[in-house]
Amino acid sequence: MNAPLPRPLIDRFNRRISYLRLSVTDRCDLRCSYCIPQGFKDFEEPEHWLTFDEIERVVRLFGLLGVGRVRLTGGEPLLRKDLAQLAGRLSVLPGIEDLSLSTNATQLDRHATALHAAGVKRLNISLDSLKRDCVTRVSGRDSLPAVMAGLDAAQAAGFAPIKLNMVVMQGVNDGEIEAMAAFCLARGFTLRLIEAMPMGDTGRNAHYLPLDGVRDQLVARFGLIPQALEMGGGPARYWQLPDGSGNIGFITPISQHFCATCNRVRLAVDGTLYLCLGQEEKLALRPLLRGGASDTELIAALRDAIELKPERHEFREQPGKIIRIMAHTGG
Ligand code: SAM
């Protein structure tokens, strides 16, 4: 007879944890104005990075505990050598039903086919503008041509859905939202507009714009209607074209937070498990992994950590609280 499955992870607020965001590096080839500061040097030492064996072990345990969705992220995950090999190891683990990737797509044209073959089926791609000079200003590099090649390669490789994440910044790219929406609807991408979060000084100085006005503008322009079915199991609220042929998501952590339905935890590249993007509660897993902890001890530690998951972030009430940048936590 098979052993009974362990109890799922449920926190103090009755939220079931079903989603792990896994940062495979805190490094990035871009310097987006709201994320890694120019000249930033405080990256994790390679000896602190969880190895593929350690990552696989942690994901296997999460899979046993009912965490069926895993997203590879960073930093820029494609900078981690042999990422497709890791993806192939994770996608076949028991209980892992959905392996996805967040990327800036600057190197995606070289990796798309291998990642898809390794079991990554869904992609989120960051792109804040379709204007080359604006992308260069925001991302710190003339990256638009490479990203466009990455988008083409992603579609050719068969990823579905492909979501484009655009951080909306007042006076920076808010004039380009309609063009981005039209581009995504025409190409079959799902656009997701994101409110800038006050993570680190870069995040706090990101020209935050609440998205309600933007949503009203897009509803009027494209005749969008609220989408009845939840999509993606995440925080985005989706609106769709009347004939259902396309949709746009809005992620509003500041103007309308969604903490009551938060189902996720984040594992940083150094093995720190963060229980909330906007709070400090965490568990250092690396010392346990490297100190000989058994699977039973690790599972107990994960359960204890879930007990620490805060009710909500305080980005509005305490915008100065979170010093770490998104790339450190695993955005
Ligand atoms: N490099 C990958 C990418 O570009 O998708 C994965 C990591 S990146 C940190 C993940 C997402 O976080 C990106 O969509 C990025 O735009 C977003 N992000 C970074 N800092 C942010 C902030 N302060 N507020 C809102 N979103 C942020």
- Domain limits of the chain? 19-329
Q: Could you say which DSSP state residue 259 is in?
A: G
Contact 102, 127 (CB under 8 A): no
- Closest Cα to atom 8 of ligand 1: 331
Residues 6+ apart with CB under 8 A from 78: 103, 106, 107, 108, 111
Q: Match domain 19-329 to its CATH number in 1.20.120.1810, 3.40.50.2300, 3.20.20.70, 3.65.10.10.
A: 3.20.20.70
- Closest Cα to atom 20 of ligand 1: 35
pLDDT for 4 equals 64
* Å from CA of 279 to ligand 1 middle: 17
Strand ranges in 33-153 using DSSP code E only, listed in sequence order: 69-73, 98-103, 122-126
- Closest Cα to atom 10 of ligand 1: 331
Q: Could you say which DSSP state residue 8 is in?
A: P
* Å from CA of 16 to ligand 1 middle: 24
* Å from CA of 291 to ligand 1 middle: 32
Residues 6+ apart with CB under 8 A from 244: none
- Closest Cα to atom 11 of ligand 1: 331
* Å from CA of 331 to ligand 1 middle: 5
Ligand 1 atom with least separation from CA of 102: 5
Tell me the pLDDT of the chain averaged across its residues: 95
pLDDT over 70 percentage in the chain: 98
How far is 311 from 262, CA to CA, in rounded Å?
9
Q: Which residues surround ligand 1 with Cβ inside 6 Å? A: 28, 34-35, 73-74, 76, 102-104, 124, 126, 165, 167, 194, 196-197, 199, 203, 206, 326-327, 331
Query: What type of residue sits at position 13?
Result: F
Give the residue-averaged pLDDT of 298-327. 92
Run of H or E residues at 21: strand 19-23
Give the residue-averaged pLDDT of 62-67. 98
Contact 79, 104 (CB under 8 A): no
How far is 107 from 52, CA to CA, in rounded Å?
21
* Å from CA of 4 to ligand 1 middle: 38
Burial of 245 (0-12, 13-18, 19+ CB in 10 A): exposed
Ligand 1 atom with least separation from CA of 253: 25
pLDDT for 3 equals 65
Run of H or E residues at 167: strand 162-168
pLDDT digits (tens, 9 = 90+) for 264-290: 999 999 999 999 999 999 999 999 999
pLDDT for 1 equals 47
pLDDT digits (tens, 9 = 90+) for 90-115: 999 999 999 999 999 999 999 999 99
What is the chain's alpha carbon radius of gyration, rounded to the nearest angstrom?
19
- Closest Cα to atom 2 of ligand 1: 103
pLDDT for 107 equals 98
Confidence bin at 228 (pLDDT 50/70/90)? confident
Ligand 1 atom with least separation from CA of 199: 23
Give the residue-averaged pLDDT of 119-138. 98
